[in-house]
Structure formats: structure tokens, C-alpha cells
Structure 1
Amino acid sequence: MALILVTGASSGLGRNTADALAEDGHDVVGHVRNAARLAGPGDGAAWRGVVIGDLAEPDEIRDVARQAGAFGRFDAVIHNAGVLHSAGLVTVNTLAPYMLTALMEKPARLIHLSSSMHRGGSTDLRRLTDGTASYSDSKLWVTALALALASRWEGTSSHAVDPGWVPTRMGGAGAPDDLIAGHLTQVRLATHTDVTPRTGGYWHHQQTQAPHPAAQDEDFQARLVHILESRTGLPLG
């Protein structure tokens, strides 16, 4: 069985992903923003453990990495946590996946939550630092990061997933997509041995699609990684 970290696991897609993996017998470590996010009876009881920290705060991202490191090397890390409207949008959606990847021991598999809205994102990377970034921008950038990581380390695969517009707190009760289908791809990418392509896929409901062209552009990926390294002070190695 696999040891798997799921960020943003207190509710919505992250909770469904973490619980599905635990039901399949995997050792799940769920990340939550604060302890109150798991206040219900039995919340997280099937998981191996919990790590706590606000991914909108760089110092807390570092502490989440430290807490996660106590469990050892993960077989898979699912970067699920995300926000739609928040002053910390870029930090949660883009910087946190980068920082956790740079700070933690390299896992066998990385899965990054994207969105179909990434196709409307800007390639103007000045927006990453000047406070003008949109949700679509942040999702384009994390998609490009996922695909940049796809061939970076021997023994580590990396994928991006569009879970669909599903009826979660973020998506809203009227979202038209299938909530269950929203987490099945992440579960498969984290655990199955027959994934094709092995790395570098942009997925929607267990099928690959073509992402925004910039996400696969090596020059854009290199510029993005350089800015993230400069912004955080953390090289990928």
C-alpha cells in the first residue's frame, strides 16, 4: 500500500480523494488548514495522520513540509488545496505546491490540481509577483509547473488534473459536473501502475487532453521555475 499526502483534505475534492484512498487501504496523510477543519466525529479517523498549516502563509508551508517529513518519503503527493477568491490565491495555488516539492523528499508521484480555467490564464509572469494574478493565471502556472517537473527527476512522475466543475464549496451547489468523477483520476494517478503516459499528462476524468500551449512550452516552464526559485529562495535541486 502507498503512503500518500493530500493537501486541502478537510472538505470537497480533497476530502473525497483522501477518504477514497484510505478506503482502498492506503496510508493517507491529510493536510488541513487548522485543527477546527476536522471537527466532525470520525473526521480523518481512517487516515494515518494529519498535518496542519495555512498554505497562504510561507512560514506555515515550511512547517507543513516539516510535519509531512516525519512520515518519511511519500509514494504520492496530491496538491489539491486551492482557493478561488483570496488575497493568498497565488501562494496557495502556485507557490505552495512549488515550496512543498522543493522542501520535501522527492515522492514517486506528484499530482497537481489544475482547472479548465487555466486555458484563460496569462503568460505574463510579472503578474505572479505584482498582485494582479487571477485564479486562471494561478492554474496555468501550476499546470506548467506540473509538466516542468514531469521529466526533472528520475523515479518521479508528475501530472496535472482538471477535476471538472463539481458541486463543492468552491464549485457551488449548482456545478454541473460529477462530484465522484472529480476525484477518481487523482486516485488512479496516485496508485495505479498502468498509467499512460507515465508522466507529463494533463488529465480530465481519466483521459488526457491538450492543455494551454504555454504549459508545455519549455521556455515558459523555465522562466516560471526561475521566478518561483527567486520568489521563495528555494531551488528545486
Structure 2
Amino acid sequence: MKKIILVTGASSGIGKVTALALAKQGHTVILHGRNPEKTKKAFNEIKKESNNSNLDMITADLSLLSEVRKFADAIKTKYDHLDVLINNAGGQFGSVREETSEGHEKTMAINLLSPFLLTHLLLDLLHKSPSARVVTVSSESYRQGGKPFLGDIELKENYSMAKAYGLSKLYIYWIMLQFVKQTKDKFHNITFNTVEPGSANTELGRISTQEKMMKIIYYLWQPMMWSIEKAAATSIYMATSNEVEGITGKFYGKSKEKNIKSKFRSEADEKAVWDYCMKVCEPYMK
């Protein structure tokens, strides 16, 4: 069965490879990218290589919640339903804390608030699918953020690059667990799962790796990195495989369910992050 699939962050790296594979399978694929020229280039390449004319592209800066809202509105204007949402777009920034023009720490904005808001805004469209899936890219770095600062989620007082990235990837896993709980009565046809792609040589760290120490670490780590194709495999699997039909609230890596240790789970903490995201994103939900 052919699906309508939205892939965010599809102009390069894992997102682009994911979109290409799905296009080759014959699905209708909506590519999202931040840069119009770069996204158009990826769109043309995927169209040519896949020989699939059922492609679309929409650009938006998903680090801005106002742009997320406009992006979701554009999707809802063009499509009457959506079968799969792949929250792939993400970012990793430097050692100095930076905020977006809307006042949010950049890592949390793109890795947490954006997929939370986009998923929320597209629920009605996903609900119109016979069987919809939300696949959200996290990272094994969820283990490396240290103790959550639930009174300082955007790390105004406790920022470091490692904390911001690691905690953002832990929090988005929690958010997807909460989506299962918060929507089970009304949106029972939608599954929410999280995936980790392993370490791959992508543009994710294009900013963070500009610093001298990170350049050294990145260089030493490169021989152990996965190919982008291998990194994209789990997202593709979770988006289309019949083997995971109806499975929800899980974390997958290497196309297999991963066991998340109980120390990384807390119902109260998960709900606190959900409530924070709801509060921050509420103005863009109306």
C-alpha cells in the first residue's frame, strides 16, 4: 500500500537518504528543508534517481515555532491526509548557548519543541489515514545528557553542548511516549515510535564541530561511523514495514526494539516536559 510520507530535514544526510528510499518504493514523499536552493537540488536528485513524480517540497525554518505553524498549515492545505510523519530534522550547536529569534535555546527548539508542535498540528491529518505512523529520530546520546534540569529545560543556567543535545534527545523520546498516552482515546489509529540512527557522517554537527577540540574528536571518531544508508535504515523500516504495524511507544535501533533502562524513564518527569512543551507551544496551536 502506497503512503503519503512527510520527511523533515530531507535536503541532506539521513533525511535525504530516507526520502530517496521511500520515493524508490513508490510512495508520495513530501521533502522538507530549511534552505530553498538546497532543498530544490535534493528534490531534483531524488526525482531523477527514483523515477517517482509523486514528490513535493516545502521549505521552512523549523527552529522557529511560527514557521512550524506555517509549515503545518501548508501541508494541511495541500493534502487531505497524511500516513507517515518522520521527524528527522535536528541540530547540534556550539559550546556557547544561543537562542532563536523567538527566545528559545536553539538545540531544544529544533530537537524538542519543533517535532512536538509539528506532530501536534498534524494529528488531525494523520487521523484521516487508515493507519498512521509518527517516526521521530532521537539518538544514543540520550544517555549522555546527565541529570535532567526540569526547572531549567532550556538550560539558561546549566548549558553545555553535551547537555543540550543529550537531554533534547531524551526529552523527545519522552514526548513521543506522552503522545501515546495523551492521544490514545481520540487518535487510536496513530502509532508513535522513536529511532536512533547510530553515529553517521552527516551535517548535524556542522556548527558544533567547528571548535578545535570537537574537530579532533570528530576526526578520531570517523572510522567508527556508519554509512548514511545504514543510519537511515531504521527510519525507513519504521515508516513502512508491516512487521511494526500497530506497535507504538517503542525505541528502535538497527531496526530492532531497544531496551531503555528504567533510570532514563520517569512518568513525572515525562509529564513535566510535556507540560512545558504545551505551555511554550500553545500560542501556535490556536
State the TM-score, normalizing by the size of structure 1: 0.90
Q: Which residue of 1 aligns with 2:121?
A: 103
Q: 1:72 Cα deviation (Å)? A: 2.5
Comparing 41-50 and 152-161, the one that deviates more: 41-50
Q: Which residue of 2 aligns with 1:203?
A: 252
Cα offsets for 1:100-126 (capped at 9, x unmatched): 112123421111100000012242223
Distance in 2 between residues matched to 1:102 and 1:235, nearest whole Å? 10
Comparing 76-85 and 66-75, the one that deviates more: 66-75
Distance in 2 between residues matched to 1:214 and 1:221, nearest whole Å? 12
Distance in 2 between residues matched to 1:232 and 1:38, nearest whole Å? 26
Residue 213 in structure 1 maps to residue 262 in structure 2 = yes
Distance in 2 between residues matched to 1:234 and 1:19, nearest whole Å? 35
Count, aligned residues = 236
Q: 1:129 Cα deviation (Å)? A: 3.4
Distance in 2 between residues matched to 1:112 and 1:150, nearest whole Å? 13
Q: Among 59, 75, 92, which residue is 1:84 paired with?
A: 92
Corresponding letter in the other structure for 1:71: Y
Distance in 2 between residues matched to 1:16 and 1:166, nearest whole Å? 12
Distance in 2 between residues matched to 1:235 and 1:33, nearest whole Å? 19
Q: Among 119, 122, 125, which residue is 2:143 paired with?
A: 119
Comparing 223-232 and 188-197, the one that deviates more: 188-197
Gapped regions of structure 1 (runs ≥ 5) = none
RMSD after superposition: 2.3
State the TM-score, normalizing by the size of structure 2: 0.76
Larger Rg belongs to: 2
Map 1:176-191; keep pairs closer than 5 Å. 176-191=225-240
Distance in 2 between residues matched to 1:44 and 1:196, nearest whole Å? 27
Residue 168 in structure 1 maps to residue 202 in structure 2 = yes
Comparing 59-68 and 167-176, the one that deviates more: 167-176
Map 1:127-142; keep pairs closer than 5 Å. 127-131=152-156, 132=159, 134-142=164-172
Cα offsets for 1:25-81 (capped at 9, x unmatched): 011001111212225382453452111110111111111111111223211100000
Q: Which residue of 2 aligns with 1:51?
A: 58
Map 1:60-79; keep pairs closer than 5 Å. 60-69=67-76, 70-79=78-87
Distance in 2 between residues matched to 1:104 and 1:90, nearest whole Å? 20
Structure having the larger proportion of residues in helix: 2
Q: 1:130 Cα deviation (Å)? A: 4.3
